[in-house]
Amino acid sequence: MYEQLTKFIKGRVALSEADLEQLLSCFHLLEAKKNELIARAGETSRRMFFINKGCLRVFFIKPDGREATRRFAFENSFSTSLTSFIGGTLLKESTQVIESSELLYIHREDFYQLLNTIPAWEKFYRSFLEDAYIINTRRLEDFITLNPRERYQLLLEENPEMVLRLPNKLVANYLNITQEALSRIKSAV
């Protein structure tokens, strides 16, 4: 069950077998069901997830009660609410299981403990933070520079599998538009 995670880590940093073994021993299996909430707004972010199989959605609740999706995470990627994970502050977003998923998670305490004991993990974390920064900045850029139609076209170009794999309702939520608006855009493209 650790094959994908091992490949993911080794693809980013060089580390000894002993260090790798110590690292992997901190990751635990979670079989999560569709629609389950594995992190909830108002609590703290205590786990970081690696996705072996499945899909997660990270979303905020707007002041009017509607949901706004920040991110979808698929196989072979990590997902957490890093702002809360870093600062220990209360979560402002929730994480929902979109397809029944096989996840590996590490507790926040173990994650930070490893930073002090395995130098390669410090390098891994740096690379992880850089990637997370780039992904979020890109998404911010899309929201402040593109209109809904342009955002949909970009999504089609860069992540067509997201449009194919997810229900329209979730794609619309990711673009921050209604399902009706998405239908109009699709029929006009």
Summarize as ranges the residues that interact with its own copies (CB under 8 A).
Answer: 60-63, 68-70, 82-83, 86-87, 92-93, 122, 125-126, 129-130, 132-134, 136-141, 143-146, 150, 176
Q: Which is nearer to its own copies, 25 or 127 (CB)?
A: 127
Cα 41–chain centre separation: 15
Smallest distance, its own copies to C-beta of residue 142, A: 10
Q: Give whichever of 17 and 63 is closer to its own copies, judged by the CB atom.
A: 63
**Quick check: 60 and 93 in contact, CB under 8 A?**
yes
Q: Measure the CA–CA gap between 69 and 176, rounded to whole angstroms.
A: 8
Q: What are phi and psi of 118, to 5 degrees?
A: -120, 105
Q: Which residues of 152-174 are buried (b: 16+ CB within 10 A; e: fewer)?
A: beebeeebeebeeebeeebbbbb
Q: How far is the CB of 112 from its own copies (least distance, A)?
A: 11
Smallest separation (angstroms) from its own copies to the CB of 100 = 27
Minimum CB distance to its own copies, residue 168 (Å): 18
- Which CB atom, from 46 or from 53, has the smaller least distance to its own copies? 46
